[in-house]
Amino acid sequence: MPIKRIIAGFNDFQENYFKAHQDLFERLSQGQTPEILFITCSDSRIDPNLLTQTLPGELFIIRNLGNIIPPYGSLNSEGAGIEYAIQALEIKEIIVCGHSHCGSMKGLLKLQSLSDEMPLVYDWLKHFAEATRQIIRDNYQGYSEEELLKIAIQTNVLTQIENLETYPAIRTRLHANKLHLHAWVYEIESGQITAYDASKAQFVPLRQEPFPVPDPLVAINPI
């Protein structure tokens, strides 16, 4: 995609969408009041606002390779973003959303091959996705590559929910029932989202029920 197309798109935004929604952007210039923190992958095929049909200002978004949240105590921008979302914005819901065909999870399943070609990606996954890799290695033998990838994607989302629960600000609000956590997986080819249903210990199609993950997480059974 040439940069000229991006510039043309911006010009179209200014001339059409912005002018038609100028009141919205004037309100947004006064501050933001999102109630949902949406954590997802950097993958270009994922667009949180498009998926949820939300407007600017309605989602606070954190994105990185593999929708990974390092545990509390690690110096990282994700933790700073979470702290800001909880303390300053008083977020009410947190969604961790993985996706099908995730390149980070493909890399995690063949981690050693990344060490020379992409050492920074290797370090990121080795340090902060090792729990997911060990769960797959120790519990899912004899599965096909496609099945392992799906399991890794689901397990990784649930692992990030557990990592979120290590943050004191999150624990406090979970205890007071002022915050809910949700584990989702978006399937690119079908447009469907599945959500972790703790009562069934598995991911099921997302409908009207929010399927909040309990505190603490009681089961990881992505099959």
pLDDT > 90? residue 42: yes
Q: Across the chain, which distance is largest between two alpha carbons, in Å?
A: 57
pLDDT digits (tens, 9 = 90+) for 159-194: 999 999 999 999 999 999 999 999 999 999 999 999
- Rounded average pLDDT over 23-32: 97
Residue that is written with structure tokens 């969604």 in the block: 95
CATH number assigned to the domain with residue range 34-205, chosen from the 4 options 3.40.1050.10, 3.40.50.10470, 3.30.1360.30, 2.120.10.30: 3.40.1050.10
pLDDT > 80? residue 222: no
- Rounded average pLDDT over 192-200: 93
Domain boundaries, the chain: 1-31, 34-205
Put simply, whether the predicted model's pTM sits higher than 0.85 gets the answer: yes
pLDDT digits (tens, 9 = 90+) for 14-23: 999 999 999 9
pLDDT digits (tens, 9 = 90+) for 115-129: 999 999 999 999 999
Residue that is written with structure tokens 């469907």 in the block: 192
pLDDT digits (tens, 9 = 90+) for 203-219: 999 986 667 776 655 44
Q: Over the chain, what HEC string results? A: CCHHHHHHHHHHHHHHHHHHCHHHHHHHCCCCCCCEEEEEECCCCCCHHHHHCCCCCCEEEEEECCCCCCCCCCCCHHHHHHHHHHHCCCCCEEEEEEECCCHHHHHHHCHHHHHHHCHHHHHHHHHHCHHHHHHHHHHCCCCCHHHHHHHHHHHHHHHHHHHHCCCHHHHHHHHCCCCEEEEEEEECCCCEEEEEECCCCEEEECCCCCCCECCCCCCCCCC
Distance CA 10, CA 134 (A): 44
Residues 6+ apart with CB under 8 A from 42: 63, 64, 65
> What is the Cα 38 distance to its own chain's centre?
6
Do residues 181 and 162 make contact, with C-beta atoms less than 8 angstroms apart? no
**What local confidence, expressed as pLDDT, does residue 209 receive?**
64
Strand-pair category, 59-64 with 36-41? parallel
Q: What percent of the chain has a predicted confidence (pLDDT) above 70?
A: 94
Sign of CA dihedral 136, 139, 144, 150: negative
